[in-house]
Amino acid sequence: MKSHLNRLSKYFQTLNSKQMSDILNELKSQVDNLKGELKAQIDLNIKAAAENSASAAADYKKNAEAIELQIKSLTDKVDAIERNSKSVLVNSKKSMTFGDAFAEAVGNAHDNIKRVSKGRGFEMEMKSVGNMTTASNLTGESVVTYQNQPALVPANKVNFRQLVSTIGSSTGTYVVYRETGGQGSMGFTSAGAAKNQVDYDFTRLQYNASYLNGYVRIAKEMLQDLPFMQQALPAMLLRDFYKKENSQFYTDLSTAATGPSTPGGANYIEDIISLVGQLEDTDFDCTGIVLKPSIVAAIQNTKPQNYSLPGAVTISPAGQLTINGVPVFKASWMATNRVLLGDWSQAKIVNVDGLKVEFFEQDSDNVQKNLITVRIEAREVLAIDRQDAFTFATITAD
């Protein structure tokens, strides 16, 4: 919480008490709205799961309790910011507009509560990368009546980081020691005979983290005249950050995967069932199957003679597709007619410098040109414990 307050305090510089109060009221209102939205979704999920199975309902209830604790933690942080607002105003020496402070506050809350994967964003197309201004990046009249929420390009439905865990590292070099062989074998011995000696070999794998980042320079006038930009900019940057992360980590894992990759079936479903079985033959669990949404649709349209889905394929009341009990995830970043499946506990995102969105006035010639720089970045790398725990294969409809 201390680091969170420190980050916010540098943006609450030279604001008067009314401006500070406005910021906190807006932030708390946003938190309350998101809490209500999450609770409604959780209630629907619990009800749906209860109609399907008691065990699923218990899992949803457990997840709901965890989310409620997370919301409480964020609310406590907001209260702490309010308690410390007076000292922030007294000790601040640099200036920051209401729009800048509120934008980061809302951006942090949105990321903490909704993980942004369910958020929406948009990207503005330019012939070349440049500073965002009303004249350059808006069409039509600039002084108009407009709806509060812009029409946004959607984010990816599933982000790669939803499939694997994320761990912290104090350095940018992360090492995994992978078992790669050994000598000798276990065996029974008769009375008086020597026991069987074995040894094991390990290979050192080094993963080096680097910064994934991007920034926007936007005119103060645009932030002032279009208040929605204060919330949209962090969402846009987060969306595009995740899209790049999804693409890169998908490439990393699919290239490294050495699990069984020769399907043995007559269609998508049989190919996938065959690949899952082959992976399980090597004693790895299959915890998730990732497919392009159009392939999932083709599977759901597969009908035997009685016009129902094959017995190995089920759909929960909440719409979760499973094949032989393994959940299927729809990811637009997957290649067509490809499947990526495996034991997703065998890979992780190693995070050295956590993901953050920051606003800066003191950057380049911003002061001269009345620009604000908005930056997103994280230093990270995908570490793969066992490449043979994952299968990347081509599947066919028939």
User: Could you please report the per-residue DSSP string of 55-78?
Assistant: HHHHHHHHHHHHHHHHHHHHHHHH
Helix and strand counts by DSSP (H, E) for the chain:
11, 12
Q: Rounded to the nearest 5°, which phi and psi values hold at 375?
A: -120, 145
| pLDDT tens by residue, 124-154 | 333 346 676 656 766 666 566 777 788 889 9
Tokens at residue 271, please?
Answer: 């190919």
Is 375's pLDDT higher than 70?
yes
Whether residues 147 and 236 share a domain: the answer is yes
Whether residues 348 and 244 share a domain: the answer is yes
Whether residues 338 and 378 share a domain: the answer is yes
Whether residues 182 and 154 share a domain: the answer is no
Whether residues 98 and 234 share a domain: the answer is no
Q: CA triplet 321, 327, 330: central angle to 5 degrees?
A: 65
Report how far apart, in Å, the C-alpha atoms of 215 and of each of 254, 341, 370 are.
29, 34, 16
Whole-number Å distance between alpha carbons of 222 and 17 = 25
- The dihedral through the CA atoms of 138, 142, 145, 148 has a sign that is positive
**Amino acid at position 357, single letter:** V
- For residue 280, the model assigns a pLDDT of 97
- For residue 240, the model assigns a pLDDT of 97
| pLDDT tens by residue, 244-256 | 999 999 999 999 9
Domain containing residue 319: CATH number: 3.30.2320.10
Whether residues 73 and 165 share a domain: the answer is no
Whether residues 94 and 200 share a domain: the answer is no
Whether the Cβ atoms of residue 271 and residue 396 lie closer than 8 Å to each other: yes
| pLDDT tens by residue, 40-55 | 667 767 676 666 666 6
Residue among 180, 219, 222, 220 nearest 200 (CA): 180
- For residue 96, the model assigns a pLDDT of 44
Whether the Cβ atoms of residue 15 and residue 90 lie closer than 8 Å to each other: no
Among 187, 207, 227, the domain-final residue is: 207
Whether residues 307 and 359 share a domain: the answer is yes
Calculate the dihedral angle through the C-alpha atoms of 208, 210, 212, 213, rounding to the nearest 10 degrees.
170
Residue among 105, 104, 110 nearest 38 (CA): 110
Whether residues 338 and 375 share a domain: the answer is yes
List all residues 6 or more positions away from 302 whose beta carbon is below 8 Å from its beta carbon: 267, 268, 269, 309, 310, 313
Whether residues 155 and 19 share a domain: the answer is no
| Other beta carbons within 10 Å of 266 | 12
- For residue 116, the model assigns a pLDDT of 30
Among 184, 207, 230, the domain-final residue is: 207
List all residues 6 or more positions away from 95 whose beta carbon is below 8 Å from its beta carbon: 13, 14, 361
Is 338's pLDDT higher than 50?
yes
Which pLDDT band holds residue 351 (cuts at 50, 70, 90)? very high
Whether residues 125 and 135 share a domain: the answer is yes
Among 77, 95, 114, the domain-final residue is: 114
Q: Which domain holds residue 152?
A: 121-170+212-398
- Domain count of the fold of the chain: 3
More confident residue, 105 or 355: 355
Residue among 202, 206, 235 nearest 30 (CA): 235
Whether residues 130 and 156 share a domain: the answer is yes
Calculate the dihedral angle through the C-alpha atoms of 357, 363, 368, 373, rounding to the nearest 10 degrees.
-20
- For residue 25, the model assigns a pLDDT of 67
Whether the Cβ atoms of residue 322 and residue 311 lie closer than 8 Å to each other: no
